Amino acid sequence: MLPLKEKDKPIVQKLLSAGCCARCVLRFCCVTVQAAFRQAQHETLKDLRAFIADKETSKVQDSTGQSSTCETESQDAALSESDADPPCKRAKLCPTTETVQSEGGSDALENVESRVCVVCLGILQGSCGPDLAVKIAETVKAKNYQFDTLVLSISLPAQLCVREHSCWLHVKKEVRAKSLVLDKDDIIQVKEAFKWIMQGLVTKELGGVAVVGKSPFEVGMEFTHPKTESDCHFLAKSCPDCFKATKNKQSVFTRMAVVKALEKISDTRFLQMYPCPPVEPSCSCTLQDIKCLHVSVFIAGRYNKFCRSLPQTPWVIDGERRMESSVEELIAAPILSAFRADGRPFAMELLNPHRSRFGRAEMKQLQETINKSSDKVRVRDLQIVSREAMSRMKEGEEEKTKTYTALVWTQRAIEKEDISFINDIKELTLDQKTPLRVLHRRALAIRQRVVHSMNVRFVDSHHFYLGLKTQAGTYIKEFVHGDFGRTKPNVCELLKTDADILELDVESVDVDWPPPIPE
Choice between 219 and 304, residue whose per-residue pLDDT is larger: 219
Res. 507: pLDDT tops 90: no
Res. 138: pLDDT tops 50: yes
Is the alpha carbon torsion for 440, 432, 407, 329 positive or negative? negative
Q: How confident is the model at residue 350 (pLDDT cuts 50, 70, 90)?
A: confident
Dihedral, CA atoms, 118, 120, 124, 125, nearest 10 degrees? 30
The pLDDT value recorded for residue 357 is 87
The pLDDT value recorded for residue 76 is 46
- SS3 assignment, position 503: strand
Q: DSSP letters of 215-244?
A: -SEEEEEEEE-GGGGGGGHHHHHH-GGG--
The pLDDT value recorded for residue 93 is 32
The pLDDT value recorded for residue 305 is 79
The pLDDT value recorded for residue 113 is 64
The pLDDT value recorded for residue 319 is 62
The pLDDT value recorded for residue 448 is 95
DSSP 140: H
Q: Can you tell me the distance from the alpha carbon of 148 to that of 216, in angstroms, rounded to the nearest whole number?
A: 9
C-alpha triplet 351, 356, 362: angle, nearest 5°: 120
Q: What's the average model confidence in pLDDT over 334-363?
A: 75
**E runs forming strands in 316-460:** 316-317, 320-321, 349-350, 377-385, 401-410, 426-433, 446-460
DSSP 189: P
- SS3 assignment, position 108: helix
The pLDDT value recorded for residue 53 is 85
Between 92-101, 313-322, 346-355, 413-422, the lowest mean confidence (pLDDT) is in 92-101
Res. 99: pLDDT tops 80: no
- Strand ordering across the sheet containing 217-224: 210-211, 149-155, 217-224, 286-294
- Cα 369 to its chain centre, rounded Å, is 35
Res. 72: pLDDT tops 90: no
Res. 485: pLDDT tops 80: yes
The pLDDT value recorded for residue 86 is 40
Q: What's the average model confidence in pLDDT over 285-308?
A: 88
The pLDDT value recorded for residue 160 is 96
- Residues 369-418 have pLDDT tens digits of 988 988 888 888 888 888 887 776 666 666 788 899 999 999 999 999 99
The pLDDT value recorded for residue 348 is 73
Q: What's the average model confidence in pLDDT over 105-109?
A: 48
Check if the beta carbon of residue 160 is closer than 8 Å to that of residue 119: yes
**E runs forming strands in 434-497:** 446-460, 463-471, 487-488
Share of the chain above pLDDT 90, in %: 55
Count Cβ atoms within 10 A of the Cβ of residue 98 and give its class: 0-12 exposed, 13-18 middle, 19 or more buried.
Answer: exposed
The pLDDT value recorded for residue 248 is 64
- Residues 113-133 have pLDDT tens digits of 678 999 999 999 988 999 999
The pLDDT value recorded for residue 243 is 86
Q: Can you tell me the distance from the alpha carbon of 27 to that of 11, in angstroms, rounded to the nearest whole number?
A: 11
Share of the chain above pLDDT 70, in %: 82
The amino acid at residue 52 is I
In the chain, the domains with their CATH numbers are 1-115 (no CATH), 116-294 (no CATH), 297-385 (3.30.70.2510), 398-510 (3.30.70.3190)
The pLDDT value recorded for residue 202 is 97
Q: How confident is the model at residue 223 (pLDDT cuts 50, 70, 90)?
A: very high
Average model confidence (pLDDT) across the chain: 84
Res. 176: pLDDT tops 50: yes
The pLDDT value recorded for residue 394 is 67
Q: Can you tell me the distance from the alpha carbon of 88 to that of 71, in angstroms, rounded to the nearest whole number?
A: 8
Res. 478: pLDDT tops 80: yes
Q: What's the average model confidence in pLDDT over 191-208?
A: 96
What Å distances lie between residue 6 and 48, 57, 174, 467, CA to CA?
A: 12, 14, 14, 85
Res. 97: pLDDT tops 50: no
Q: Can you tell me the distance from the alpha carbon of 154 to that of 286, in angstroms, rounded to the nearest whole number?
A: 13
The pLDDT value recorded for residue 59 is 45
Alpha helices by DSSP H, listed for 81-127, are 89-93, 97-102
The pLDDT value recorded for residue 57 is 46
Res. 155: pLDDT tops 50: yes
Res. 96: pLDDT tops 90: no
Q: Can you tell me the distance from the alpha carbon of 213 to that of 151, in angstroms, rounded to the nearest whole number?
A: 6
Q: Can you tell me the distance from the alpha carbon of 160 to that of 119, in angstroms, rounded to the nearest whole number?
A: 6
- Residues 236-249 have pLDDT tens digits of 988 988 888 776 66
- Which contacts qualify for 441-450: CB closer than 8 Å, 24 or more apart? 447/473, 449/473, 449/474, 449/475, 450/474
Res. 83: pLDDT tops 50: no
The pLDDT value recorded for residue 396 is 61
Q: What's the average model confidence in pLDDT over 47-66?
A: 63
DSSP 114: G
